[in-house]
Structure 1
Amino acid sequence: MSIKLIAVDLDGTLLSSNNSILPETQKTLKQAIDSGIQVVLATGRPLSGVMQFNQELGLAGDKQYNIVFNGAVIQNLAGKVLMNQEMNYHDFTNMRRLQRLAHVNLHFETPECFWTCDRELGVNLSVNAAMTKNIIKVRKAEEIPQDFTFNKVGFSETDDVEEVEKLWNNIPEWAFAKYDVVRSFSSNIEINIKDASKGNALINLADRLKIAPSQVMVFGDQGNDISMFLNPSFKKVAMGNAIEMIKDNADYITEDNDHDGIAKALKKFVL
């Protein structure tokens, strides 16, 4: 059955090490789009951090879509929200409990901005906000309202990546049972509400578009992509730079993100 939807992760997949789309990858994805295939960027970033790359691929309007916040939100490119899975003030207090396990920054992501109660911000958090075109609102914990909601949580290094590893190794079982906890880089940990994942969001979107799971191809490289690679019906392509768990669950391993891995796989299987 022919591919009708291609879901592409951003960092480490669509984007090269220079945080850009390589010309051949851009050209090949545009060929797929022009042939009528739905191309969907699926990322941990908010929509604000994705729009530049949608524009470079010629994606726009209410018939094109992004999966953002690791699958907690599906939006069309006119900004309309099709699915929104949020955490609340109780989850906020749980995240504050987890932060005490290591010396790390903690921030809360919403479509409007990032929130944090940390007065000292590490480079990782500052760069993340800049890359996704977000401001960071710093507030005392007691200033956070009881009706506070957010889509994703990020723990990141302040000055030592080993602190992130320390937190990862000490996250209690109740947190893994209650939330979707993943790593997209060694320097961070990302948390969403349970069952909010790229894989589940992609099934939701494909169903809305009346596309069968067997007509979906996915590209990824890191832990926040694994939910897409656990679906037995998807055509799963791991980047050459992917972690072993992604490669082990892939149907095909292509070149890395600095050598047009997406373009080469699309030419082999789709175009």
Structure 2
Amino acid sequence: MIKLIAIDMDGTLLDDNKEISAKNKAVLQEAAQAGIKIVLCTGRPKSGILPYFDQLSLTDEEYVIGNNGCLTMSSKDWQFLRVEGVELERLDALEALLADFPQLNLVLFTPEANYILGQEINAQARKDAEIEFSKIVHTDLASFKRQNIPVLVPIFMGETAILDAFQARFEDQLAQEFNTVRSLDYAFEALPMGVSKAKALADLAQDLGISAAEVMAIGDGNNDLEMLEFAGLSIAMGNANDAVKEIADFVTASNEESGVAQAILDHVLHPDGLYIERKRDE
């Protein structure tokens, strides 16, 4: 019996226009009314989550995991239940990697704003902030450190081809100290070691007295892989990449076809009408 549904946002709950369909809203409301906890589990920061959560009009206390596991919040008062971050003294080594990649930005995600390091703010960092309704501040590292603001996750951002080259050169080095993930074609994250959507979800489920077998997770991208592996029931979106589809129990419709709603209807609320063949052997 599923007691908690963890849902990625971009490419999953949101369609390509960054909107929640009427069908997704209605089905999530039905699931919540049935007593199932709804957890938005996303790489987005708080600013990029709350406007969408408000659209869902869920009446009971629900939960949100943001910044790929760095933040866990309750919808009751939007206070942080858990916060993970990167120590300020580790930022110098990260900034130094920009020397040979001046077109990239190192974006420091903090609880309230994105602080951007680099020669100038590139188009990708601006686009990301616009999508997530984030305040951006162009700064230098010395000035930033003097403010003593906690950093949740540093993210290298830039054009795909340049970021590909950066990742090829530095991923092995960074992976020794950080949980690295390419969450988007323009974003390469250096999460705190041990931090992921899966870890935050496991901690939250334990707090709520819910086992992994009672968790359903829905996602589409590389930053969803560990979350899908943790959940007792894992669903890949129809638009998911091949790695996600390979590990998922089922594949649902795409984000353009309200695949989240379809998955919940098929596997939780009305399982007698399954239309998708189970992928994983029992």
| Structure-2 residue corresponding to 1:237 | 235
What SS is found at the alignment partner of 1:181? Answer: strand
Q: In the superposition, relative to structure 1, how do residues 213 and 170 fare at CA in structure 2: closer, same or farther (>3 Å)? A: same
- More moved, 191-200 vs 84-93: 84-93
| Structure-1 residue corresponding to 2:155 | 154
Cα distance in 1 for partners of 2:94, 2:229 equals 27
What do residues 55-106 of structure 1 show as CA deviations (whole Å, max 9, x unaligned)? 1111367x32100010011111212111111111222112213333533111
What SS is found at the alignment partner of 2:145? Answer: coil
Q: In the superposition, relative to structure 1, how do residues 144 and 99 fare at CA in structure 2: closer, same or farther (>3 Å)? A: same
What amino acid maps onto 1:64 in structure 2? E
Identity of aligned residues (%): 29
What amino acid maps onto 2:198 in structure 1? G
**2:124 pairs with 1:124:** yes
| Structure-2 residue corresponding to 1:248 | 246
What amino acid maps onto 1:122 in structure 2? N
Q: Which segments of 5 or more consecutive residues in structure 2 lack a partner in the other structure?
A: 270-282
Cα distance in 1 for partners of 2:243, 2:171 equals 22
What amino acid maps onto 2:143 in structure 1? E
| Structure-2 residue corresponding to 1:137 | 137
Cα distance in 2 for partners of 1:112, 1:67 equals 15
What SS is found at the alignment partner of 1:40? Answer: strand
Cα distance in 2 for partners of 1:97, 1:245 equals 32
Q: In the superposition, relative to structure 1, how do residues 23 and 72 fare at CA in structure 2: closer, same or farther (>3 Å)? A: same
Q: In the superposition, relative to structure 1, how do residues 101 and 169 fare at CA in structure 2: closer, same or farther (>3 Å)? A: farther
Task: Count matched residues.
Answer: 266
Q: In the superposition, relative to structure 1, how do residues 91 and 234 fare at CA in structure 2: closer, same or farther (>3 Å)? A: farther
- More moved, 198-207 vs 240-249: 240-249
Contact kept in structure 1, 2:236 and 2:251, CA below 8 Å? yes
What do residues 113-171 of structure 1 show as CA deviations (whole Å, max 9, x unaligned)? 111122421222112112222211122222132644300122111xx320011111111
| Structure-2 residue corresponding to 1:19 | 18
Contact kept in structure 2, 1:119 and 1:138, CA below 8 Å? no
Q: Which segments of 5 or more consecutive residues in structure 1 lack a partner in the other structure?
A: none
Superposed, 1:37-48 pairs within 5 Å as: 37-48=36-47
- More moved, 46-55 vs 141-150: 141-150
Superposed, 1:111-260 pairs within 5 Å as: 111-145=111-145, 147-157=148-158, 160-231=159-230, 233-260=231-258
Cα distance in 2 for partners of 1:257, 1:150 equals 31
Name which of 43, 66, 69 aligns with 1:68: 66
**How far has the Cα of 1:260 moved from its partner?**
1.2
What amino acid maps onto 1:134 in structure 2? S
Contact kept in structure 2, 1:183 and 1:222, CA below 8 Å? no
What SS is found at the alignment partner of 2:9? Answer: coil
Cα distance in 2 for partners of 1:175, 1:264 equals 39
Cα distance in 2 for partners of 1:101, 1:189 equals 16
| Structure-1 residue corresponding to 2:274 | none
- More moved, 63-72 vs 51-60: 51-60
Contact kept in structure 1, 2:121 and 2:138, CA below 8 Å? no
Cα distance in 2 for partners of 1:60, 1:27 equals 13
Contact kept in structure 1, 2:171 and 2:180, CA below 8 Å? no
- More moved, 173-182 vs 193-202: 173-182
Q: In the superposition, relative to structure 1, how do residues 168 and 56 fare at CA in structure 2: closer, same or farther (>3 Å)? A: same
- More moved, 94-103 vs 14-23: 94-103
Contact kept in structure 1, 2:4 and 2:36, CA below 8 Å? yes
Contact kept in structure 1, 2:182 and 2:222, CA below 8 Å? yes
